[in-house]
Structure formats: C-alpha cells, structure tokens
Structure 1
C-alpha cells in the first residue's frame, strides 16, 4: 500500500509572467518587459520586486485571464510549482482576470497579500 507523504518546502519568491496586450499602455522600457510580456520576481514575505529601479513608482493593470504563468521559487532559485491559469488569489487581481500592480519607489508591490493559506491552496489544488 502506498500513502501520500507531505513534504514541507520553503517558498522565497513568486515569478509571474503576464502578457502585455496591444491596448495596454505599458511602456516598452517597463521593468521586466520583453516584447509582449512582463516578468517580475516578487519576494513572498515582503512583496519586494527584485531588480526594481530605485525611486520608480508604477501602476499597471494587465489583462492576464488564463494566459499568465506563476512560478513558486525556493531559496536556491529552483521552481517548485508552476501555475498556468487565471490569476491566483495570492497576486493582487480583479476577478482572476487582471493583474493589478502598484509599486512604491522602494519596489514594494502595494496590496501584496501572499499568505500561507493561499500558497497552501496552490499545492492542494484548492485555488479560489
């Protein structure tokens, strides 16, 4: 008989890659933008975006719908889980369709709300 074994892992960051659509007003030189997508790496505990330019404040909304990719990253930088679906609850969003980004000059994503419960839901498949 085999039974499932629970393994505890540490999540240090979340890397999200979302599309930039033609009707978005995202500047070509927006941090993390390459072509028609933006990739950001965000600290789970503090909501700080890695490599964010000091002093830059930004506010963007991207219509990701089910086209976003969200990766949970361990402290060594390895991807431990990839989600390719609607915007998960641990990312500030509207209706699971729109990523809502508001960043302070210190690179902190305002409204960042990752929590143990929400991240556990990702692993158990109970995403809301």
Structure 2
C-alpha cells in the first residue's frame, strides 16, 4: 500500500524566485524614468517580472548592475513565489496568489502590490525576511 504523508523538517532557504504578472509597469521608475511598458526594468521575461532574490542579503542575483529602480507593481493574485534551498529545490511556494509580505519592504502592499526600492547593485532597501503567506499559522 502506498500513501502520501506530510513530513516536517528544518531546511535552509537560499533564494526566492518570483514570477509576477505585473498589471501596470508605469507605476515604477527605472533610473528615475517612468517605465511605461516595463521595457527598462531588469529581470523581465515576457510579461512576467522574475527577480531571483538571495534570502539572507536581499540582493537580486539576476539584476543588471548600474540600474536603480523604484518598484510599485500591482500584481494581486497573478504572482508565484518559490522559496528554494541551495540546490534549487522548491521548499515552500505561493502560486497564483497574493503578494507575500516580504515583497513590500518599502510600505504595506496589502497582498496586492510589490513595493520596493532597488539600488544599482540589486540590493533591495530595508529587506526583511518573513514567511508570512508561505506557512499556514493554523
């Protein structure tokens, strides 16, 4: 007989992989310029904004050096977020759901917005790690 069981174990999380369906890129600026169509923001793939964030440092590893951005993106439930270990295995995820709290270190995004400032090295200002939204509190 086979059965699926839930096993709890402690894991070291390394990265947060984001795949966000941004509704209005023009609400953000890149190097001080309004990014009307999302053509200026690094980490955009097709219609998705896909930063890969080092959990401990808050640095976006796939960021284009020298670019600064003020991100204020309405995503609502059009985003997926994957917390991965050092080998790239997804340990926790949120799929096509609200924006997790850690994606809005600048101000409260109310589960609908990604709000952050990113410097020329890909460092997210005031980065704070929280698992709110990834782990049920029940």
- CA RMSD after TM alignment: 2.2
Point out where structure 2 has 5 or more consecutive residues left out of the alignment: 27-34
Aligned counterpart in structure 1 of residue 48 of structure 2, from 13, 37, 47: 37
User: How much does 1:39 deviate?
Assistant: 0.4
CA displacement at 1:31 relative to structure 2? 1.2
Determine the structure 2 residue equivalent to 1:76: 87
- Tell me the residue number matched to 1:108: 123
Pairing 1:89–2:101 present: yes
Aligned residues: 120
**1:126 matched to which residue of 2?**
137
Output aligned runs, 1:18-57, within 5 Å. 18-21=20-23, 23-25=24-26, 26=35, 27-57=38-68
SS at match of 2:111: coil
Residue segments in structure 1 that go unaligned for 5+ positions in a row: none
CA distance in 1 between counterparts of 2:57 and 2:132 reads 18
1:43-100 CA-partner distances (Å, limit 9, x unpaired): 1111000121222111121111111101001001111122021111222151111001
Which stretches of structure 1, 4 residues or more, deviate above 6 A after TM superposition?
none
